[in-house]
Amino acid sequence: METSATFVRELTVRADHGQIYIYSLAATNNDDAWETSENVYLDALEDATSSRRFVGVAGGLVDLMTPGQWNWETPMRVEVWNGEPAADAGWDHEVDVDLDIPDGQLHFDASGGSGSVRVEVPAGMYRARVAGRGFTALGVSGDNATDEYRLRLWPRTVDSDPKLRIAWPGWADYR
């Protein structure tokens, strides 16, 4: 079956403390992990670093780590597909995760609460391909950073484990 993007939005989001949180408030409110965990944000960060995927998940929250400490003008492209998109070249790091958006409200927040962006997408249960490119050395940051990100969503019927598809070699220096 041929797939194509049915929805595309170009956003500018904020990254802070080397992280961008991606979530649906409705999904996090309905997830037991928010009730049982001391801190879902730390759980997602731990998943990102211990798995060496640098994209972590916990309680409906996706923690996208960025090589730079901060970037107030981070490009983020959101695409919704009718099926899994074909692989394409040109991305330095790619991870597939599950992401539920039951209310159609997708949020992007900078760690530390320094900015939030919301976009409406079709409500659903998705597999998400989180991709980044244009990375500089770890710790280099600022509004002149060259990193950019893409989030591709397609419908899913079953839960799947996160999957590292492409690893940026610069993450090898992360401690």
- Predicted confidence (pLDDT) per residue in 27-66, tens digit: 776 555 555 556 889 999 999 999 999 999 999 999 999 9
For 82-134, write each residue's pLDDT tens digit: 999 998 889 999 999 999 999 999 999 998 777 789 999 999 999 999 999 99
131: in domain: yes
Helix residue ranges per DSSP H, 11-164: 25-29, 33-36, 40-50
pLDDT band at 74; cut points 50, 70, 90: very high
| pTM: predicted TM-score of the whole model, two decimal places | 0.92
Q: What's the structural domain count of the chain?
A: 1
For residue 45, the one-letter residue type is: L
User: Has residue 121 been placed in a domain?
Assistant: yes
Position 104 scores a pLDDT of 96
Q: Is the pLDDT of residue 71 over 90?
A: no
Dihedral Cα 91, 93, 96, 99, nearest 10 deg? -90
Name the residue type at position 107.
H
Q: 70 in a domain, yes or no?
A: yes
Identify the three-state secondary structure at position 170.
helix
> Does 175 reside within a domain?
no
Instruction: Using alpha carbons, select from 50, 73, 70 the residue that is nearest to residue 139.
Output: 70
Q: What is the CATH number of the domain that holds 64?
A: 2.60.34.30
Decide if 74 is inside a domain. Answer: yes
For residues 39 and 33, give the distance between their C-alpha atoms in angstroms, rounded to a whole number: 9
Establish if 110 belongs to a structural domain. Answer: yes
Burial of residue 70 (CB within 10 Å: 0-12, 13-18, 19+) is buried
| Domain boundaries, position 14 | 5-169
Q: Which pLDDT does position 97 carry in this prediction? A: 98
In a domain, 174, yes or no: no
